[in-house]
Every structure is written in structure tokens, then in C-alpha cells.
Amino acid sequence: MLQTAIAPLGLRILAGRTGARSAHWSAALVQFFQLARRVLDQTQAEVRTGRLRIPAFLHGEAGDHGLSATLDSLMNAIDLEYDIELKSPFEETASIAGGLWSGRDLVGADCPDGLAKLRFSAGTLDLPLHVHEHSDRFIAVLEGEGRFWWSEEPWRHFEGARTQSTSVRAGDVLVFTRDLLHTFSAPTEDLVLLSYHSPEIPFEDPRQYTLPELRWTPREGRALARN
């Protein structure tokens, strides 16, 4: 079980540093896993108490959750200290690239979760509404600005009539449970996300995401056709 994050303050790498990465040591990647896991555990507890129902979606600035300084520090450190290759297409969309840090590789066999870094290029409007049937999400916006779209309609009976959206920008946090119909768009500038998947499902696994029968994209702002 991951424990509460404790920042190793003031340590510098004097031997063993790889590549041109910063000599400052933050262990930010593992700490992000710990923070995200804690928030998702709290969300699931709220579901069990009846305060939330599935699918649930929570959104706000990091400061709204008392996470601002910690999360900003972790995101900046991850961006500076940890290289990852972003490959496209992601979820069959050429303008989105992603890479995944596996919790099993990073923390050990008792961590089934993963952390993805995703870049939506400016002009991305074609990722359809979809669901993750098998995992929950904690997402922090690292850079840029865009929109998050969602619907509370059951994905198996989606008719496109109740889709909503909200703006997202650097510093925002989004938490949602499995089975929430959703997508992101990046109309005018790049949008970069750190997306924690609980549990991790490899990008190439067909269980990673599911499209409803009726296809809906932000470009059209309406349902296009049945798959």
C-alpha cells in the first residue's frame, strides 16, 4: 500500500545522476502516485457512504483541494526531472501523443496503477466521447488550456442530448470514476495532462477505452453517426 507522500527536501544527486536531468532530487514521480492514490481512495469512500454515485466527476483548481503547493511542485519536478517518450496516435487520434509510467515497474507489484503524460496538440477536436469501463482517473493539467466534455447519460444508451463542458487550464484537477462519458479538446493551444489511471491498463489493450454506439466529437458539438 502506498503511504502518504513525504517530500525529501533539499537533497541533491552528487553521484548516480543520469543524462542531463536536474541534480535536485524530489522523488516527484512516486509522490504523485501517492497523492493521486489517496484522492481516489477518498473518492471511492464517498461513493460507499452514498455522498457520490458512479459515474462521478469532480473538478477544480488544486488550491480548492488544499493541494496547490504540493501538486504544483510535483508537476513541475516531473516535467523537469523525468523524461518520457510521447507517442501518437493516442486512442486513435493523431494529434494526441502519450507515454505511460507503470506503477508495477516504478513502485513494485503491489501498485497496479499507472501515470500517463498526454499532449493534445492545438486544434485537437476529434477525440470522441468515450468511457473507461475498468479504471478511475485523477488528472492534473500541466500546461495549456482546453475543454473537458462529459455526459451523465449511461454510455450504453447515449443519445447525445446532455453533453456538457467546462474549461480546463494549467493547475486544474479533475477526478472521475469509471463509466463517465468524457473527452478533452484543445481548440487554440497545446494541452498537457498528467493522467493517473487506477488501475493501469496498457494503451494498446482494447479494454483501455470504449466508445458508445453513437459517436460524438467536440468538433461537431453533436452526435455524428452510430459506430
Q: What is the pLDDT of residue 132?
A: 97
Q: What is the pLDDT of residue 21?
A: 60
pLDDT value at 70 more than 90: no
Among the residue ranges 19-33, 49-63, 80-94, 152-166, the one predicted with the least confidence is 19-33
- Residue 123 DSSP label: T
Mean pLDDT, rounded, of the chain: 87
Domains of the chain: 28-226 (2.60.120.10)
**Alpha carbons 177 and 167: distance in angstroms, whole number:** 19
Cis peptide before 206 (omega within 30 of 0): no
Mean pLDDT of 122-139: 97
Among the residue ranges 18-27, 65-74, 97-106, 168-177, the one predicted with the least confidence is 18-27
The grid cell for 226 is 452510430
Q: What is the pLDDT of residue 79?
A: 86
The grid cell for 89 is 496516435
pTM of the model: 0.88
pLDDT value at 2 more than 50: no
Mean pLDDT of 143-163: 93
| Of 164, 218, 170, 173, the residue nearest 190 (C-alpha) | 170
**Alpha carbons 205 and 202: distance in angstroms, whole number:** 5
Tell me the percentage of the chain whose pLDDT exceeds 70. 83
* Helix, coil or strand: residue 201: coil
Among the residue ranges 44-58, 91-105, 131-145, 208-222, the one predicted with the least confidence is 208-222
Mean pLDDT of 73-84: 86
Across 72-97, b (16+ Cβ under 10 Å) vs e yields eebbebbeebbeeeeeeebbebebbb
Q: How confident is the model at residue 151 (pLDDT cuts 50, 70, 90)?
A: very high
**Alpha carbons 43 and 49: distance in angstroms, whole number:** 10
The grid cell for 49 is 457512504
